[in-house]
Structure 1
Amino acid sequence: MPEYDVDLVIAVHDPKRQIERAVGSALSGTRSPIRVTVVSHNTDAMAVRARLAAFADDARLRFLDLTDGIRSPSGPFNLGLEAATAEFVSIMGSDDELEPGAIDSWLALARRSRAELVLPSLRIAGGPRVPTPPARPLRRTGLDGVRDRLAYRSAPLGLVSRARFGAMRFPAGFAAGEDIEYVTALWYSGARIAFDRRGPAYLIHSDAPSRASTSVRPLATDAAILDSLFTSPQFRALGPRERDSVVVKLYRVNVLGWVANRPLESQWRDEDRQELVTAIERCRRAAPRAERLLSRLDRQVIELACMPGASTRALLDAASARRSRARPGALLPRRLRDAIRSEAPLRFTIASALVRFGA
């Protein structure tokens, strides 16, 4: 039997981050046998240890160091996964926090349901629940990648069984989106999946000066993961419905998010506009039917992005218009027969609202 139930891996890229908050919440808020591994990545490891001096005598805390010169979270997370020996592995952001009893709640759900993957409830610290994944109402066990829209949970937070997935690693070298390929392999694996939708939450903090997941980069950096994902054995093994569910999420969250995160014309270079077109073409080749599931307003943005001669101002105006969720164009696809699909915008919006309000 493993000595620990969970190996929790936290990567630290800057000793100014409040790593003591993340570590303290896990160690003080968990009764089950866990180990927290802090990986100092391309930074002052002694400064990281100094921030955690209050936990220096806790045998459940372990330090690893990685200096690889690569600005990617894949390296430190993979190092932590390599060193794991527990029944389950878990990852955590250095800025974030766990509500008391969160890991215990995940483990209890895993034991009851024999789940190999457990997704936690997410909440913005001091704010609302994060409505991902927009799973079927009340669904806690036996989740399905397509019907429960698991692609929208793009970070592998919670529990991952080492017996089933211990050999899996994050793709190396990507500064953004490295978790998309990893979670696609998890959610569509046929594994037993549970969602602790009403349990103690994983709290997402936004008080750091800059988070790698929210900073604006050259669009080519954001989009680089698509080729790796679409050529991966896991994606190539997916059926058409599964590919649609992955790619429609990429359109809604990633592609349209890249536009929304660059709201000023000055933030767009010619190279970024071309990279946006290339990313959309990759998505179209990977899942030709997925675009039909988008709302009319979402498709307008996609089509303007690819329209020769369309101005950046027109593109940004269309992206702004799609934010109004009450408009019919935001809730309906172009073909009404597509409105009954689980990924259709109205069903997706309702499911997201139910998760946000705890249903």
Structure 2
Amino acid sequence: MSQSIEVVIPVHDPARPLERGIHSVLAQRAELAELGVDLRVTVVCHNIPVDDIKDSVTSALSTDDAVTWLGHRDGIKSPAGPRNAALDQSSATFLSFLDSDDYLEAGSLAAWWKAAESHGAAAVIAPLRTPEGSILRSPRIRPSKPAVLDPVRDGLAYRSVPYGLLRRESLKTCGFRYEEGILIGEDLEAALKLWFRGGPTVYPYAAPAYHQTDASGPARVTSAVRPLADEFRWLDALVQSSWLLQATLAERRTIALKLLRVHGIGALIRRGSMAGSVQAPVWSAADQTAWTKARGQFLELAGGALPALSRRDAALSRAAAAASGESALRDAVVLHSRSGRLGELLTDNPLSLLAADSVLRHYVNERRRTKSGVFALR
């Protein structure tokens, strides 16, 4: 075989539907072999004995020569460590990371490989099918369906996780690595560095997808509400990254805007919506301080201003920095939800209403993306 693909599956719990994920990969062996591509799977048993995980699948799978069982202990509830461990020991041409509760659709790896080879791509962003069955409309690809994506013009920052097919040499060149030691956000900088510095990135239009499920259950790490400072630990390292400090203003601004919109405003809405309805406090003086710091980091990253931020998001961002208690945050979130269409569409800076990153331009392009079939179902 002239090339190879290694699918890495970290797993920490034998109750996860690991067998389904492995089957979804190995079922594609023959198709890839015809293309001259060798296929293997590496299961990283995270903070659990390898035999405990092997016993959770059939003996045929546990003894399959195409499956490598790798143990990794770091005592941290984050997939960063096991993913990095697999990356360090890999010799494959391409890597693909698969969560243990998800699976790959039939024909996906061959379709992604063909897209990578056609354009010499460093990365193929996988179509991502949600548990509900639709294709995630991200990143914000131009309606013209470009063959090779532009990090800024095609909104690659809006795809936070590097699901798909990743050329290993490109990962090494750009210094791709998951951030260890944090519970959430471990893949944010890794994905951004890959999209913006890794090399050509493509999207395989209408190809079979990476299929997410809701089988992870209530214990999933990212589902908990924790102190805001912990939730934004990834931001401290990101804003000090040399590659980002050297990025153009357009690159830094599009990244900062996405991070504030999705991760920042999302965290505020989640907390404000829960305020008063749960026993544990969801907003404290420490959270207010953490938000004020994070908001300042977003703005500094963007060169001091985010003119395309919607009027309602900008208002909530400012209100949270002044919210000294749960009731104040709850009131700010309620006001955000009642801001209406104008609050959503109008930008904080009126001159940026038609900017490429504005909500209005996004909605217009969403209609055009639907017509051109950017995210058409297969």
Confirm or deny a common fold (TM above 0.5): yes
Asked if 1:28 corresponds to 2:27, the answer is yes
Partner AA of 2:274 in structure 1? L
Which of the residues 30, 37, 44 maps onto 1:39? 44
1:147 maps to which residue? Answer: 153
Is 1:51 the counterpart of 2:56 in the alignment? Answer: yes
Distance 1:147 1:17 in 2: 38
2:112 to 106, 126, 132: 106
Structure 1 residues 88-127: aligned runs within 5 Å: 88-127=94-133
Report the 3-state secondary structure (helix = DSSP H, G, I; strand = E; otherwise coil) of the residue aligned with 1:213. Answer: helix
Q: Equivalent residue for 1:267? A: 282
Question: How much has 1:42 moved relative to structure 2?
Answer: 1.0
TM-score using structure 2 length? 0.88
| 8 Å CA contact retained: 1:35, 1:61 | yes
Amino acid at match of 1:293: A
Match of 1:81 in 2: 87
Offset of residue 56 of structure 1: 2.3
> 1:290 offset after TM fit, Å?
4.8
The CA deviation string for residues 258-302 of structure 1, in whole angstroms up to 9 with x for no partner, is 122322224223322221222111112222355221111111110
Whole-angstrom distance in 2 between the partners of 1:7 and 1:226: 30
Are the aligned partners of 1:184 and 1:235 in contact in 2 as well (CA < 8 Å)? no
The reply to whether residue 328 of structure 1 matches residue 342 of structure 2 is: yes
* Partners of 1:199 and 1:341 in 2: CA distance: 31
CA distance in 1, matches of 2:88, 2:123: 18
SS in 1 for 2:10: strand
For the 8 Å contact 2:268–2:320, the answer to whether it is kept is no
Asked if 2 retains the 8 angstrom alpha-carbon contact of 1:244 and 1:289, the reply is: no
Deviations 1:42-100 (A, max 9, x none): 12432211122241232221110111112222110000101111111121111111111
Letter of the aligned partner of 2:301 in structure 1?
A
Structure 1 residue 354 displacement after superposition:
5.8
CA distance in 2, matches of 1:28, 1:219: 42
For 1:72 and 1:105, locate their aligned partners in 2 and report how far apart those are by CA, in whole Å: 30
* Cα deviation 1:146-185 (Å, max 9, x = unaligned): 1011011111111111222235322221211111111111
**Residue 315 of structure 2 corresponds to which residue in structure 1?**
300
Find the counterpart in structure 1 of residue 224 from structure 2: 215
Question: Which segments of 5 or more consecutive residues in structure 2 lack a partner in the other structure?
Answer: 33-37, 276-280
Identity, % of aligned positions? 32
Distance, in Å, in 2 between the alignment partners of 1:264 and 1:87 is 46
Match of 1:172 among 170, 180, 186: 180
Which structure has the bigger radius of gyration? Answer: 2
Q: Secondary structure of 2:235's partner?
A: helix
SS in 2 for 1:176: coil
Decide which moves more: 326-335 or 276-285.
326-335
The aligned counterpart of 2:278 is none
Distance 1:87 1:66 in 2: 23
Structure 1 stretch displaced more, 181-190 or 164-173 = 164-173
Q: Report if the CA contact (8 A) 1:247-1:290 is conserved.
A: no
| Structure 1: distance between partners of 2:135 and 2:364 | 15
Question: Cα offset for 1:224?
Answer: 0.4
1-structure distance, mates of 2:193, 2:229:
23
- Of 150, 157, 168, 1:162 maps to 168
Q: Which runs of 5+ in 1 are unaligned?
A: none
Kindly provide the amino acid, as one letter, of the partner of residue 315 in structure 1.
L
The one of 323, 326, 330 equivalent to 1:316 is: 330
Contact 1:6 1:88 (8 Å CA) reproduced: yes
Assess, with a 3 A threshold, how the Cα gap between structure 1 residues 299 and 22 changes in structure 2: closer, same or farther.
same
1:26 CA drift (Å) = 1.3
C-alpha RMSD over aligned residues: 2.2
1:133·1:352 contact (CA, 8 Å) conserved in 2? no
Q: Which amino acid aligns with 2:50?
A: A
Q: Which residue of 2 aligns with 1:183?
A: 191
**AA of the residue aligned to 1:177:** G
Q: Which residue is equivalent to 2:69?
A: 63
Hey, what's the Cα distance between the residues in 2 that align with 1:45 and 1:174? 24
Counterpart of 2:35?
Answer: none
Q: TM-score, normalised by structure 1?
A: 0.92
Deviation at 1:201, TM superposition (A): 1.0
Inter-CA distance 190–341: structure 2 relative to 1 (3 Å threshold)? farther
Q: Does 1:197 align with 2:205?
A: yes
Distance 2:52 2:167 in 1: 32
Residue 287 (structure 2) pairs with residue 279 (structure 1):
no
Distance 2:7 2:180 in 1: 20
C-alpha spacing 1:211/1:297, structure 2 compared with 1 (3 Å): same
User: What is the one-letter code of the residue matched to 1:268?
Assistant: W
Structure 1, 23-32 or 197-206: larger mean CA deviation? 23-32
